[in-house]
Structure 1
Amino acid sequence: MPLEDFQYDLGGVVIGAGTSVQVIETTGLGRPPVRESDVDQPSMDGQFAGPDYWAGRQIQFDAAIKIPGDPAACHDMVATLQAVTDAAAARLVGGQGLALRIKRPGRPVKQLTVRARKLDPEYGKVIHGYVPLDIELLAHDPTFYADEPSTTELPLGWLTGGGFAAPVTAPIYVQDGTVAADRPGWVTNQGTADAWPIMRITGPCANVTITHVVSGRSLTLPTLSLAAGRWVEIDTRPGYRTVTWDNGGNASTYLSPASRIDLFSLPPGQSEMRWTAFDGTNSARLRVTWRDAYIAL
C-alpha cells in the first residue's frame, strides 16, 4: 500500500495526512534509548564505561480523530484501531507484532515491528466529531527496515571466483571474476545498519554449511538431510532466531553448537555468501531474504 508524506500505516490502518486521524506530533523516531552497563570504579572516582546497547524504541503519537458532525464515525475509528492493535496473532504470540510503516518527505517508506502499549481516546468533544487520541507503541527492535524485502537465490555448483574459459587447452588457467556484483552469491544491504537474513534451504541436499565470507561466520547443519522439495528455514532476525521445517516443526537441533544465529548479520554494503552441501542432482537451492536496515529515518 503506497503512503503519502506524513502518513503512517499501523497494521493496515493508515493515519496522518489526508486521513480522518490527524497526527499532531510524533516522538520516539530519533535515537533509541540506551541500555547502559556502566559500573562504579571501586575506591575511585568515576565509573567504568561498559557496552551501551539500544533499548526498545518507544513511539508516541499525539493525534486526533476529526470527522465533523459524525460521532459514530469517530467511535468506529477508535474501534478499528483497537481491533488492529489487539489482534491475537500479534499480541499473544512471542516475537510477533504489527508493522508500522512511516513515510517522511524525501525519504522512502521504512518500517518497524511494534506492539501497542497505549490507545487512549478522550470523548469529551465526540459529539462534535472530534476525539483527541494518545497512542503509544513499542518497537522491541529499534532498527528501521526497508518497506520491501530483497531476495536472492543461490544454486549449488556456481563458482563465485570464476571458471574455465573455453576452449580448454593446456596449460589450463582459472580466470577470476572482475565485477563482484556480476557473480552469484553476492547480497547488498543498502542501509546503514546490520540486516538480518532469512535463509531457506531447499533439497535435495545434505550436510549444509552457509558462510558469510567477509566475517567468516558460518551456520552448519552437519546431520541435516533434505529430500527433494523439502526445506528448512533459518531466521536470524532479532526476536525470532529460529530454525524450522516446512511443516512448522523445530529443526534447531540440526544446527551445530558453534553456529551463532545471533551473530549472522549482513553489514551495510556488499557481502559474499557461499554455501556447500552434498547434492548429486545440482538442484538444491539457498534463498536469502533480507530487508535493508537503517539507524535513522
Structure 2
Amino acid sequence: MSTELNDFQLEFAGIRLGHGTSIPIARIEGLARPGVRGEVVERPAADGVWLSPDWYEARTLRIDCGVKMPGDPAAAARIVAQIEEAADDPRVRTVGGAVTSLRIKWPGAPVRVLYGRLRKAEASWEEAVFGWVPLDVEFTAPDARYYADVEQSMELRLGWLSGGGFTAPVQAPIHVSDGSLSGQNRPGWVTNGGNVDAYPVLTIYGPCANPVITHVETGRQINLGITIPAGEHVTVDTRPGQRTVTRKNGGTFATTSPLGDFRLPPGRSEIRWTASDPTASARLKVTWRDAFKTLVDPKETPVR
C-alpha cells in the first residue's frame, strides 16, 4: 500500500527520499520539460533553417542526495543496501520493457508517478564514519508523462450501447438498457482528469467472440478477431512501451489495430464495445491513470 508523502519527497520501492527523511536531497534535475529529439536542417539558398517534428526523449531524473544517520554508519550502510537491492530487482532489471514506479510530491499538486528504472545508485563512502553517505542517483522514465497516484477503473457489460441491446445470439432472461441513460449514470464514460492523453489497459473477460472496442469521440477501434472462452481473459495494454495483447496464460499475439492510437483525451469521453456472447456475461474492464505534461498542473487547484 502506498504511503503518504509530504512536499519535496520522493518514494521508490518503499524508500522515501527528500525533505524530512534520512535521505535529504541537495539537488534534483529532470523534473521540468524533457529533452526533445529532432532535426535542424539548413535551408539551401535561403535564410534560416527547417525544423523537423520534435519528439520527447526519455525523462531522466538526476538526484544528488545522501544518507544521513549521524553517529550510526551501520544504519547508513543498510539504507544504501536497500536502495541497491531495489535497483537490482530482476523482475524489472532483466525483463525488457518492465518498469517500476517513482512517486513524487511537489508543492501545489497531489502525488504524481513516473514509471521507469533506477539506472544508477552510486555511493561515496569517504564520510561514512560520520554516518553520512553521499549518493548519486539516476531514474530513467521512457515515458515522460506524469501520472496520477490513484488508478481509475470502469467495467462495461455488453449491450450498453446508445440504442441499447445485445449482439446476437442471446438467451433469456436478458435485461438491456433502453438507451435513455445519460450523464454520470450512463456506463461507458471515462474521465481523464489530466491535461494530456492517457493510455488505458483494456481487459476482456469471456465468453465472447470477435470483440471490438471503440472510443466514441475519435472513432478509434481495437478489433481483436478472436474467441475468448469462459473463464479466460485477454488484456490489451496501450501504454507507451507496453503495447501488447496478452492472454491469461501470458501468451501474446499480434493485432492489426494500432494500439498507440487508442487513448483517452483530457476530460470525459465514452468507450463502447461489441462482441458475440450467448451468455450475456462477458465484460470489459478499463483501467487508466490521469496523465499530465507537468509535475504541477497550472490549472489545478493547489493542495492545502
Compute the TM-score of the two structures, normalised by the length of structure 2.
Answer: 0.88
Residue equivalent to 1:137: 139
Residue equivalent to 2:279: 281
Distance 1:92 1:39 in 2: 39
Distance 1:94 1:131 in 2: 32
Distance 2:42 2:277 in 1: 56
Report deviation, 1:231: 0.6
> Could you report, residue by residue, the CA deviation over 1:178-219 in whole angstroms, capped at 9, with x for unpaired residues?
x43221111000001110100000111101110011111101
What is the identity, as a one-letter code, of the residue corresponding to 2:62?
Answer: Q
Distance 1:22 1:294 in 2: 26
Residue equivalent to 1:71: 73
Name which of 99, 103, 108 aligns with 2:101: 99
Report deviation, 1:175: 6.9
Q: State percent identity of aligned pairs.
A: 47
Distance 1:192 1:4 in 2: 23
Runs of 4+ residues over 4 Å off in structure 1: 174-177
Residue equivalent to 1:198: 201
- The number of equivalent residue pairs is 281
Q: Tell me the SS of whatever aligns to 1:119.
A: strand
Distance 1:121 1:175 in 2: 62
Report deviation, 1:176: 4.7
Contact 1:160 1:185 in 2 (8 A): no
Contact 1:155 1:286 in 2 (8 A): yes
Contact 1:160 1:183 in 2 (8 A): no
Distance 2:224 2:142 in 1: 29
Residue equivalent to 2:158: 156
Distance 1:261 1:13 in 2: 34
Name which of 214, 221, 244 aligns with 2:224: 221
> Could you report, residue by residue, the CA deviation over 1:221-264 in whole angstroms, capped at 9, with x for unpaired residues?
12x11111211010000111000100101132xx2x2x110111
Distance 1:276 1:154 in 2: 11
Distance 1:247 1:117 in 2: 30
Q: Tell me the SS of whatever aligns to 1:84.
A: helix
Name which of 166, 173, 185 aligns with 2:188: 185
Contact 2:199 2:262 in 1 (8 A): yes
What is the identity, as a one-letter code, of the residue corresponding to 1:280?
Answer: P
Compute the TM-score of the two structures, normalised by the length of structure 1.
Answer: 0.90
The structure with more strand, counted as a fraction of residues? 1
Residues 175 and 92 from structure 1, CA distance in 2 versus in 1: closer, same or farther, beyond 3 angstroms?
A: closer
Unaligned runs of 5+ in 1: 164-173
What is the identity, as a one-letter code, of the residue corresponding to 1:64?
Answer: G
Residues 175 and 80 from structure 1, CA distance in 2 versus in 1: closer, same or farther, beyond 3 angstroms?
A: closer
What is the identity, as a one-letter code, of the residue corresponding to 1:285?
Answer: R
Distance 1:94 1:175 in 2: 44
Contact 2:42 2:50 in 1 (8 A): yes
Residue equivalent to 1:171: none
Residue equivalent to 1:58: 60
Residue equivalent to 2:262: 264
What is the identity, as a one-letter code, of the residue corresponding to 2:235?
Answer: E
Distance 1:199 1:30 in 2: 31
Does structure 1 residue 110 correspond to structure 2 residue 108?
A: no
Report deviation, 1:76: 1.2
> Could you report, residue by residue, the CA deviation over 1:159-181 in whole angstroms, capped at 9, with x for unpaired residues?
33579xxxxxxxxxx8754x432
Distance 2:258 2:39 in 1: 23
> Could you report, residue by residue, the CA deviation over 1:116-159 in whole angstroms, capped at 9, with x for unpaired residues?
23222221111111112111111111100011110000000123
Q: Tell me the SS of whatever aligns to 2:265.
A: coil
